Amino acid sequence: MRIVSFLAVFLFAASAFAQDWQAVERVEPYTVEGATGLEIYRSIGERGPKLGVARVIAHTGFKLTWTRKYERKGNACVITVNRPKLIITYTLPRLKTKLAEPMKGRWDTFLAGVTAHEKVHGDFIRDMVREIEAMSVGMTVENDPDCRKIRPQLQARLGELSNAQRARSRDFDQVEMSEGGNVHQLILRLVDPR
């Protein structure tokens, strides 16, 4: 009975240790202005974050660093610790203009919807980091006593996971921004509520 209790406590502690990191979330606002939905949307088009050559309504970026421990086990190299430090930054519009109802309610709905959209991108980033953590802790490369071969193999796998996260985000944006999609509807209700 004592062995079972010890094992349960050990497994709980190991699970808690694997989940002990938290992403730091930051909002980086950019200022827009206007008294009507169309004026506000034009201001977003002029001042929104640049993504490639175009400006967008909002953007989610991140900075990810790792604390890794590589250990030699016999003639192999093993990653025994891979703890992330993740900072997610949401770039969102902040309205400088004071609005009266019903325009204020339309703006609040628009901003809440855009923020919710960007938070999904944040969740995708967290999922990627968890996948990296799960894949890498315990990763072993035989015949690598100096832990040199493991690094390029890890980087190749990280590239695959990063590409998958970007594809997932692109697919989500395509649905949300297509005609009739959630973001498209938010824009229409801001600009022309009818």
> Does residue 5 belong to any structural domain of this protein?
no
> Does residue 7 belong to any structural domain of this protein?
no
> Does residue 11 belong to any structural domain of this protein?
no
> Does residue 12 belong to any structural domain of this protein?
no
Q: Residues 94-104: what's their mean pLDDT?
A: 94
Q: Does residue 194 have a pLDDT over 80? A: no
Counting beta carbons within 10 angstroms of the beta carbon of residue 100, is it exposed (0 to 12), middle (13 to 18) or buried (19 or more)?
exposed
Q: Does residue 147 have a pLDDT over 70? A: yes
Q: What is the pLDDT of residue 192?
A: 84
Q: Which of 112, 120, 136 is nearest to 186 (CA)?
A: 112
Read off the pTM. Answer: 0.85
Q: Does residue 56 have a pLDDT over 90? A: yes
* Boundaries of domain holding 81: 20-191
> Does residue 36 belong to any structural domain of this protein?
yes
> Does residue 70 belong to any structural domain of this protein?
yes
> Does residue 6 belong to any structural domain of this protein?
no
Number of domains in the chain: 1
Q: Does residue 155 have a pLDDT over 90? A: yes
Q: In this structure, what token pair is assigned to residue 176?
A: 């949300």
> Does residue 13 belong to any structural domain of this protein?
no
Q: Does residue 118 have a pLDDT over 90? A: yes
